[in-house]
Structure 1
């Protein structure tokens, strides 16, 4: 095996001819992604647009090390994911944060406990203080003892954001982070994500159908026909966005 060339220190995600093939219901190969070449630098904000079923979430899972590629190479935070075993990939994922459309909070835990649990499991020092600090930063210092079913959708998403950032991730992956929120609440969440991106220098990689959110990112890509296409600002407009939600 050839030794891969070292990446520049600013590159946090790189893919080389990345592909993903699954078996369909008739046990026939189904190619979801192929020939994906992507490079994302530290502190960048990147949006991935595409129609439903285009493979956006699949791509996000591969970039985050949650799934294995069928072909090609993935580098995350300087580590070649495709050359690591599961335990090694899990270690790399400790520097990654996630925000999902469905929030994915544990219903039997308070807001504080939801943020605190992954910190505690990771062996972080002062995990309670750190969790409380992050809830305060997202405007929920007065709601730390509330359970998810006692919080609005926007509040639940802010808990999820606090949980993601509390681990001090190098990269934050967000899969439709405003998809279950009304427009006003969604705008609040967008503002918060980009504020934390600026304050923390955390790289943001977003899957979204929200044009306003995508346009705030430094780079925008369209995932179409298994390929990732870089979009210029002029190429992404409300007309095109409706065709490729």
Structure 2
């Protein structure tokens, strides 16, 4: 049993975490016996073949999905003991996301997309904060453009700004360069790690890119739903 001080140092702790689903052919075990400790400010790459359980794991860690068994302690709080409202509240407070497909709202401008999470939290300085972070990622000249008017790399920069604008304690990135060419991907990754360092965020990313994984402090490899190296 870990002490409260240890739990606060370890921003994520899982014990015997598992996820199973029922199929027409029986029970499918997506994740099994995941014991994991992630420290505050650490950068982690989660790697493995397609179907190894990478995306399911970060969905569980972020409280987007619920496990079949085991526990998750997030920032000293028992995430697996919360209902959906509780998990949503802790996501809003602590977590940012960057996705392969950007997940920007098409009807909003770049500025409005970045402002949105701040507005939802009642931040009166949402416009100024969003504009400042878009300037930080080199998009001060694209504030009024909608996603359809932006390149893939520009959309991912907007997504990075939106993810960091609330100063999250944890950032989850799921294949953040998967839809980008190699040159643009390198730029986005440089920017991701710069912002991560500036904000002292715990970074947890899923990737097939070994070069990207090597830039993280630690790599966790999954195979058939189990950790095979950590």
| TM bucket normalised to smaller | over 0.9
Contact kept? 1:18, 1:72, Cα under 8 Å: yes
Shift of 1:36: 0.3
Is the partner of 1:38 in helix, strand or coil? strand
Tell me which residue corresponds to 2:133.
134
Shift of 1:229: 2.6
Shift of 1:141: 0.8
Render the CA deviation track for 1:57-101: whole Å, top value 9, x for unaligned.
Answer: 000100001110111010112211111111111111111000000
Tell me which residue corresponds to 1:40.
38
Out of 82, 85, 89, the position equivalent to 1:84 is 82
Is the partner of 2:116 in helix, strand or coil? helix
Render the CA deviation track for 1:189-226: whole Å, top value 9, x for unaligned.
Answer: 11011111111100100000011110000000111022
Taking structure 1 as the reference length, the TM-score comes to: 0.90
Render the CA deviation track for 1:11-58: whole Å, top value 9, x for unaligned.
Answer: 11111010000122x162111001001111111100000111111100
Is the partner of 1:178 in helix, strand or coil? coil
The number of residues matched between the two structures is 228
Q: Which 5+ residue runs of structure 1 have no aligned equivalent? A: 232-245
Shift of 1:4: 7.6
Moved more, 143-152 or 76-85: 76-85
Tell me which residue corresponds to 1:70.
68
Pairwise CA RMSD of aligned residues?
1.4
Runs of 4+ in 1 over 4 A off after TM superposition: none
What CA distance in whole angstroms lies between the structure 1 residues aligned with 2:168 and 2:76?
14
Tell me which residue corresponds to 2:116.
117
Tell me which residue corresponds to 1:243.
none
Is the partner of 2:155 in helix, strand or coil? helix
Write the mapping of 1:195-234 to structure 2, written as runs, cut at 5 A: 195-231=194-230
Contact kept? 2:53, 2:224, Cα under 8 Å: no
Contact kept? 2:52, 2:225, Cα under 8 Å: yes
Tell me which residue corresponds to 1:28.
26
Taking structure 2 as the reference length, the TM-score comes to: 0.96
Contact kept? 2:20, 2:68, Cα under 8 Å: yes
Tell me which residue corresponds to 2:161.
162
Shift of 1:158: 0.4
What CA distance in whole angstroms lies between the structure 1 residues aligned with 2:221 and 2:141?
40
Tell me which residue corresponds to 2:52.
54
What CA distance in whole angstroms lies between the structure 2 residues aligned with 1:146 and 1:78?
40
Contact kept? 1:219, 1:230, Cα under 8 Å: no
